[in-house]
Amino acid sequence: MKYKCVIVGAGPAGMNAALYLKRAGIEVIVIEKDAPGGEMLKTSDIENYLGFNKIDGGELALKMSQQIKSLGVDIVKDEVIKVSKQDKFEIETKKDVYLADYVIVATGRTPRKLHLLGEDELLNRGISYCAVCDGGFYRGEDVAIVGGGDSALTEALYLSDLCNKVYVLVRKDLRANEILKARIKEKDNIIVLKNVQVEKLGYEDKLSHIILSNGERLSIKGLFVAIGGEVRLDFLKDLNLECINGYIKTDDRMESSIKGLYAVGDVRFKDFYQIITAASDGAIAALSIREDV
């Protein structure tokens, strides 16, 4: 099967790329191994996507997929196992082989978990993997964030303007950049605890406290986990793509180091991982392809 562009992944980035390509008259198909929506499907209340005061993640995902399907875009349920390039890209899935001039990789990332007892159960009831998405629910409360990288400190700064106390829990030492480190030092309500891990989540219906590896008990309402994400790129290994810290490196047009292969949303290396920025990446990739065709 031949298409001008094959999009791998139907999160907001992939779906917005499909919307722009289809409207520009470019033949496109979206391949998704699960239901359309990506990480949005695991989010209950979204309050930072323009146009909706508050919307359930599943509902927003459904609206997006319905919109692109109504334009005639096919979202096929299948898994891409290999992408290679000769003259055109060959996209091999479990069920088929597709040929395309352009490929947009929009496969997202899965937030790394702590793997603690109760972690899954407490999602949206004390545990969060996105401070910008969920910080507002913990206004005025004491919270903690796990991680010592750029994401953890960026999120700690964000939370410090909303919450009472923000504990930053680092298993060894901070590895974030010096600018972020200097900024958190200036914040009176950010407390960095080094050489600690979270050992136990304390909860009944909602999170109430955590126990640390040094025995300390912290009463908190929210625990934000910012310990990196897992990006799956095994299906691209034949292409020798340039990556940064395991994320695909792109230029401002979302093109990777391989001509014709674009990366959008959480799978690419960037500063901000949000639904709106993922959707924006998708639009930029599609418009760049339209100019190139």
Q: Which positions lie near ligand NDP, rule CB under 6 A?
A: 112, 114, 146-152, 154, 171-172, 175, 197, 226-228, 245, 271
Position of minimal CB gap to ligand NDP: 149
Least distance CB 271 / ligand NDP (angstroms): 4
Is 134 assigned a catalytic role? yes
Nearer to ligand NDP, 55 or 227 (CB): 227
Least distance CB 192 / ligand NDP (angstroms): 12
Nearer to ligand NDP, 58 or 149 (CB): 149
Is 34 assigned a catalytic role? no
Least distance CB 171 / ligand NDP (angstroms): 4
Least distance CB 69 / ligand NDP (angstroms): 33
3-state secondary structure the chain: CEEEEEEECCCHHHHHHHHHHHHCCCCEEEEECCCCCHHHHHCCEECCCCCCCCEEHHHHHHHHHHHHHHCCCEEEECCEEEEEECCCEEEEECCCEEEEEEEEECCCCEECCCCCCCCCCCECCCEECCHHHHHHHHCCCCEEEECCCHHHHHHHHHHHCCCCCEEEECCCCCCCCHHHHHHHHCCCCEEEECCCCEEEEEECCCEEEEEECCCCEEECCEEEECCCEECCCHHHHHHCCCEECCEECCCCCCECCCCCEEECHHHECCCCCCHHHHHHHHHHHHHHHHHHC
Nearer to ligand NDP, 118 or 228 (CB): 228
Catalytically annotated residue among 130, 142, 163, 266 = 130
Nearer to ligand NDP, 52 or 272 (CB): 272
Say which residue the tokens 């910080």 belong to.
135
Least distance CB 216 / ligand NDP (angstroms): 16
Catalytically annotated residue among 133, 142, 243, 281 = 133
Catalytically annotated residue among 5, 101, 134, 163 = 134
Q: Which residues are catalytic?
A: 130, 133-134
